[in-house]
Amino acid sequence: MTNQRILTPGSMSRRRVLTAAGTAGLLLPFRGLGGVAWAAATPATYKKWVLVKPCTDNVVTPAHFRMVEEPMPQIKDGQTLIQVKLINVHASTRNRMGPKGSTKVGDTDKTNYACAQVLQSRDRTFKEGDIIACQAGWQTHQVISSEDESIGYGKANELVKELNGTKSHWNYVFRPVMVRQHTPDVLMDVFGTSGTTAYFGMRECGPIMPSDKIAVAGTTGSVGAMAAQIAKAKGAYVVGFGGGPERAKWVTDTLGIDKALDYRAKNLDEQLKAAFPDGIDVYSDGVGGPLTESIAKLMKPNSRFFSYGSSASVYDDTPEGDARSTGRQFGMTDAVDKIIRERNIKLEAWIVHVHYQDRLECEDNLSQLIATKKLKPINTVVDGIENVPKGIISQYETNVYGKLQLRFAA
């Protein structure tokens, strides 16, 4: 006899709302049949990369990884088997691989933001064939559950749990219209943490007006590239940055913004003053350190400062406290903090999941920008499960543009 889960009244996700509206009696009994059909095409084993030894001195090499092949897990009631299509590689990956990191020897990094397809499900939130976002390891297949909580990010708030139908910020079923319009790499770039961080950052620092003068650091990276394009779509004057003349040229040529400066230039302060003769209204900061100090000096009283991370410092993935303390963890220096206080600058510093109750708003607006060609995805994709070490190493040894992604399946 098929084991069925009964839907109870109360808080409902988007999935459960549709089910309760008239398909509950049809959907659940066929879960078992769907699972059998998918299982017939599911391989007997899956591939996974594990950490062999801790990463020291921030140097990642192929010797840190080993691929293993394991039996395909059998799901239990309340679980879902997924095929991982693509994962995002975050700059803090090597930190998690370090001696004090969360990725332990013999295990995989379980925190990667991923796009996956549901193969088998005995979980009421996920159904076979769904394209979802979730946290996943360096592996081709994985078992997840709507009861899983986020790894490394604390508890999701009640509104996010209501929307997702899960206890995680990240475990989320994409709407069919999103899957029809966008490929997995775009779903994980524009509609993953990068694009959503940029969108909510500009929203919270808004409204962005055509009269605004905006500096966007990290514009060759994933969030900065999106923030610059979103600000430009609002009609603002936007200046980005690149490490060297070639990367600065890439910024203007690719993103279509007004200007890009080489942040390594010896006369950077002079170039900044020339680019912003009347001061800066909004600063989007994903860098921290000396560049942020130089830019902060030109910020106007009552301007807006958005800090979402720092490539100039090692930071924790789970900052806590108010915006100022979070900004400090993201690389905001004493000098910058002093300017923010003295000029009454509005500071926005957070990790994007704090706004995920508004995820549908974000998806709809970013989709419209893509449709009108005002926003283009910026990503670098490395193909093949066998190339996980190569892909992760490239994050630190090559000039990757946009979001670095590892693709395991089409």
What is the residue extent of each domain of the chain?
Answer: 14-190+378-407, 193-354
Tens-place pLDDT, residues 257-302? 999 999 999 999 999 999 999 999 999 999 888 999 999 999 999 9
E strands along 162-253, which residues?
172-173, 213-216, 237-242
Reported confidence tier of residue 309, pLDDT bands at 50, 70, 90? confident
Q: CATH number of the domain at 193-354, please?
A: 3.40.50.720
Phi-psi region of 288 (alpha: psi -120 to 50; beta: other; left: phi over 0): left
Cα separation values, 274 from 24, 239, 270, 321, Å: 63, 11, 6, 37
DSSP annotation of 402: B
pLDDT for position 69: 97
Among 244, 243, 107, 190, which residue's Cα sits nearest to residue 364? 190
pLDDT at 82 over 50: yes
Q: Residue 405, Cβ neighbours under 10 Å: how many?
A: 26
Q: How many angstroms separate the CA atoms of 305 and 345, rounded?
A: 7
SS3 content of the chain, % helix, strand, coil (to 5): 35, 20, 40
DSSP annotation of 194: H
pLDDT at 39 over 80: no
Average pLDDT of the chain, as a whole number? 88
- End-to-end C-alpha distance for the chain, whole angstroms: 35
Q: Tell me, what amino acid is at 104?
A: K
pLDDT top residue among 38 and 366: 366
- Architecture of the domain made up of 14-190+378-407: Alpha-Beta Complex (3.90)
pLDDT for position 203: 98
Quick one: average pLDDT of 127-143? Answer: 98
Residues 6+ apart with CB under 8 A from 138: 48, 49, 50, 65, 87, 108, 109, 112, 385, 388, 406
pLDDT for position 35: 47
